[in-house]
Structure 1
Amino acid sequence: MTALTSCGSGSEPAADGTVTLKFLIDNGQGAVDSAKAMTTAFMQANPKIKIDTETRPAGSEGDNIVKTKLSTGDMDDVFLYNSGSLLQALNPSQTLVDLTGDPVLQNVQKDYLPVVTQGDHAFGVPFGTAMGGGILYNRKIYEKLGLQVPKTWDEFMANNAKIKAAGISPVVSTFKDTWTSQLFVLGDFYNVQAAVPNFAADYTAGKAKFATTPAATAGFQHLADVHAKGYLNEGFGSATADQGMKMLVEGKGAHYPMLSAQLPPLVASMPQAATDVGFFGIPGTDPAKNGATLWEPSAVYIPKSTKNLDAAKKFLAFIASPAAADAVSKAVQPSGPYRITGAKLPDNAIQAAKDLQAYIDRGATAPALEFVSPVKGPSLEQITVAVGSGLTPPAEGAAQYDKDVEKQAKQLGLAGW
């Protein structure tokens, strides 16, 4: 890759017509490996465009770098950043190139676009794959006990009863890593949206609450249900996410409410994780409305400060193409489906990713609430641990969370709070 001597947001084309794009990504190994595969394939097809990839830290430090670069006009020609509500904090209408109606977006799946949109304007293309938030399950246990994937919560609980009778932990919980306790609530948003289509907008406006919306309280109730029935693994309060994944893959636990992205890193040391673990969305009340909640991939954007707009658009069009997906799949095991029309999962994709693809193919997905609302309270994982441990009643947990998000909504200056 060609290094840049300028410190601005891009360099002018060289005398031979070569353009160098600066591409800013986070320093996570998955992002680094994906970007390398993508840029190598792109530069082979476009020898006049060189891409110089730079990394930034993840988390709040990386957020600050992105915001500073945008505000000073010093952003790289293209950059990787979150989709969903965190994008709104970048004030995209003022800082990013509007791609609405541009051929760059022609392969981007339509139901992905809302998470890279402000108002009626779309600003980015998906980088990497979606991941599912729901139930990872051991397929060997299901096969051995003759169980079917449940489409309602009652069916799920009936499966748990049979699994417990067989001497296996029905539901793996790992509350030592408190973040893992949130999945029954956060992964249930598909069902919330199916029951109350305007919930995200009303919740953001301070009109809808978890405690007063039965479909939203249900996630807290689920946590209480599996604990009350004795369906959790022994030592769930001190178990870690790594231990939970191992239990699931080894068949010592049947279900684990979790993100599908936890699986690919295990495949090297436990190859059966690719085939023996499947995925299903958290079941609701209506089998006809069965679906799954998605954590959408991040996106690549172009700042208005770029001096190389045509080359940057060419690169984004490539990122949003089946060719880029194929290149990435060879380097990084996908944890879910690509959000690009025509992009296929490789034959050796993990089973959980294939299961998630089936939900997308039938249009039965919704983005997690954090992609469609900026309101997420910092204490949810402590509240869900308490509810899931039988210490706090579910209705009280939902009310506590409503109070928790109120602080954050006021900090964000949202109307209606």
Structure 2
Amino acid sequence: MTRMIPSAALAAALSTLASGAFAQEASLVYLVDNSPDTVAVAEALAAAYMEQHPEVSIEVEQRPGGAEGDNIIKTRLATGEMADVFLYNAGSLFQALNPTQTLEPLDDLPAMTGVLDGFKPVVTGSDGKVYGVPAQAAMGGGILYNIPIYEELGLSVPTTWEEFAANNEKIKAAGRVPVAQTYGETWTSQLFMLADYFNVQAEVPDFAERYTANQAKYADTPAAMRGFEHLQEGFDKGWWNEDFGAATYDDGLRMVAEGEAAHYPMLTFSIGAIQQTYPESLENVGFFAQPGPEGAPNGLTVWYLSAIYVPKGGEHTDIAKDFVNFAGSPEACQVILDTIGATGPFLIEGCELPADVPRAVADMLPYFEGEGRTAPALEFLSPIKGPALEQITVEVGSGIRSAAEAAALYDQDVVKQAQQLGLEGW
């Protein structure tokens, strides 16, 4: 395993962690979502920090994911009942927290000098201050696939949607489940739509800018509507597992890891959860970017995922910031690697990946290494993301609503948020 050698700046930053105890004992609460890998990392970081600071105790509190979790975060911030430290999305959902009013700026943290510049804009408020530290590796949105099924049926990794659809028909004809869907946790229904953004941008390079200015809509942009159409196609063609309406995220991971399904559209942070829960099947899982139209470039939609934040008005703000400073260090990267393994490139200078990464991570890295083969997800290019998207994608993927109807409904869904953000043209 490659050792991670901090830069001089980060080494200086880490010296603050070794400076000794705080003046008094303190108890912190760290709020995270309830994904198994997220909880495992949070507990490991808390344990590592408490080992260095025995006068501090940190309790990891869990919340649901998806819209329910979003509401919990917003409500607790609004009522002054937020945990001392919390994990939440970067990008558009971060902007919806009104960070300049609800969060502590973190620009002065020593570890911030090592945070990659590409990440900082997705956690920067309207005042130009940085409010979050990256908590996880960069990740791609695409398709996890079961390698033994591909080998058994003689399939090749698709680079176009037509090839992907053809693979699914061969898998279905062989009596296997082509695509796992897990609408028991509604957030997972969004992947076919959100992970298609590389393909949208390749076809309509200025879509994010025009979308933010209310000059482009999903309903009138064929490239943007295509993600909804993929969901409709999957349902219409019977690609899903029979229990897709009740199945959970963990069910989807099990299905693709153990060969119950050939594909699971998902973010690559899930590789850590597979390593935690189904380690014997880890090398059976590969990854490819969501394919686009025939003749289009093949590339990966990238998420900068979550950051760690400190709310304003906390009882132990200085200690909370010091914990966040630790979480943004190469030492913390090693804790993450030791806990869930490598799930993608880190966003902190001095954090190196080991040579022996899981197969799905190795499949992802060439996209980052190739010129023009990645694009940020739309939520990192535009502050607009409607709160009802996951309910709309569930409806399309369940055959309740057509792709065209869904695109029009989602265009309506984002209006209120855009107005709340004070965007021009809305």
Moved more, 217-226 or 311-320: 311-320
Name the SS of the counterpart of 2:166 in structure 1. helix
Structure 1 unaligned segments of length 5 or more: list them.
1-15
1:292-316 deviations in Å (ceiling 9; x for gaps)? 2234332234567799999877655
Distance 1:107 1:412 in 2: 30
Of residues 83, 89, 107 in structure 2, which corresponds to 1:82? 89
**C-alpha contact 1:23 1:79 (8 A) present in aligned 2:** no
Residue in 2 that maps onto 1:26: 31
**C-alpha contact 2:21 2:55 (8 A) present in aligned 1:** no
Q: Measure how far apart 1:160 and its partner are.
A: 2.6
Q: Measure how far apart 1:156 and its partner are.
A: 1.7
Residue in 1 that maps onto 2:397: 388
The amino acid of 1:97's aligned partner reads: P
**C-alpha contact 2:28 2:316 (8 A) present in aligned 1:** no
**C-alpha contact 1:134 1:257 (8 A) present in aligned 2:** yes
Residue in 1 that maps onto 2:411: 402
**C-alpha contact 1:279 1:352 (8 A) present in aligned 2:** yes
The higher radius of gyration belongs to: 1
Residue in 2 that maps onto 1:145: 153
Moved more, 329-338 or 199-208: 329-338
The question of 1:122 aligning with 2:127 is answered no
**C-alpha contact 1:169 1:233 (8 A) present in aligned 2:** yes
Distance 1:342 1:256, change over 3 A: same
Residue in 2 that maps onto 1:9: none
Map residues 222-301 of structure 1 onto 2, 5 A cutoff.
222-228=230-236, 230-233=237-240, 235=242, 238=245, 240-241=247-248, 242-267=250-275, 270-285=278-293, 289-301=297-309
**C-alpha contact 1:97 1:303 (8 A) present in aligned 2:** no
**C-alpha contact 2:177 2:262 (8 A) present in aligned 1:** yes
Map residues 370-381 of structure 1 onto 2, 5 A cutoff.
370-381=379-390
Of residues 55, 72, 75 in structure 2, which corresponds to 1:64? 75
Distance 2:21 2:272 in 1: 41
Distance 1:322 1:288, change over 3 A: farther
The amino acid of 2:95's aligned partner reads: Q
Q: Measure how far apart 1:144 and its partner are.
A: 2.7
Distance 1:290 1:205, change over 3 A: same
Moved more, 378-387 or 144-153: 378-387
Structure 2 unaligned segments of length 5 or more: list them.
1-19, 64-68
Residue in 1 that maps onto 2:116: 109
Q: Measure how far apart 1:403 and its partner are.
A: 2.2
Q: Measure how far apart 1:227 and its partner are.
A: 3.8
Q: Measure how far apart 1:326 and its partner are.
A: 0.7
Q: Measure how far apart 1:137 and its partner are.
A: 0.6
Residue in 1 that maps onto 2:179: 171
**C-alpha contact 1:337 1:356 (8 A) present in aligned 2:** no
**C-alpha contact 2:143 2:287 (8 A) present in aligned 1:** yes
Name the SS of the counterpart of 2:118 in structure 1. coil
Residue in 1 that maps onto 2:203: 195
Moved more, 113-122 or 210-219: 113-122
Residue in 2 that maps onto 1:11: none
The amino acid of 1:26's aligned partner reads: L
Distance 1:214 1:343, change over 3 A: same
Distance 2:299 2:23 in 1: 45
1:125-145 deviations in Å (ceiling 9; x for gaps)? 211334433211111122233
The amino acid of 1:403's aligned partner reads: Q
The amino acid of 1:110's aligned partner reads: D
Name the SS of the counterpart of 2:266 in structure 1. strand
The amino acid of 2:413's aligned partner reads: D
Q: Measure how far apart 1:164 and its partner are.
A: 3.5
Runs of 4+ in structure 1 over 6 Å off: 303-314
Name the SS of the counterpart of 1:405 in structure 2. helix
Residue in 2 that maps onto 1:210: 218
Identity of aligned residues (%): 46
Distance 1:410 1:133 in 2: 28
Of residues 130, 154, 158 in structure 1, which corresponds to 2:162? 154
Q: Measure how far apart 1:185 and its partner are.
A: 0.6
Distance 1:306 1:253, change over 3 A: closer
**C-alpha contact 1:98 1:122 (8 A) present in aligned 2:** yes
Aligned-residue CA RMSD (Å): 3.8
Distance 1:376 1:68, change over 3 A: same
Residue in 1 that maps onto 2:58: 53
**C-alpha contact 1:172 1:236 (8 A) present in aligned 2:** no
Distance 1:171 1:137, change over 3 A: same
Q: Measure how far apart 1:322 and its partner are.
A: 2.4
Distance 1:167 1:323 in 2: 47
Distance 1:332 1:245 in 2: 15
Distance 1:402 1:323, change over 3 A: same
Moved more, 376-385 or 275-284: 376-385
Distance 1:308 1:176 in 2: 37
The question of 1:368 aligning with 2:377 is answered yes
Of residues 77, 95, 105 in structure 2, which corresponds to 1:97? 105
**C-alpha contact 1:104 1:313 (8 A) present in aligned 2:** no
The question of 1:220 aligning with 2:225 is answered no
Distance 2:83 2:241 in 1: 50
The question of 1:135 aligning with 2:147 is answered no
Q: Count residues in correspondence.
A: 394
Distance 2:370 2:106 in 1: 30
Distance 2:179 2:156 in 1: 16
Moved more, 135-144 or 26-35: 26-35
Moved more, 16-25 or 132-141: 16-25
Name the SS of the counterpart of 2:279 in structure 1. coil
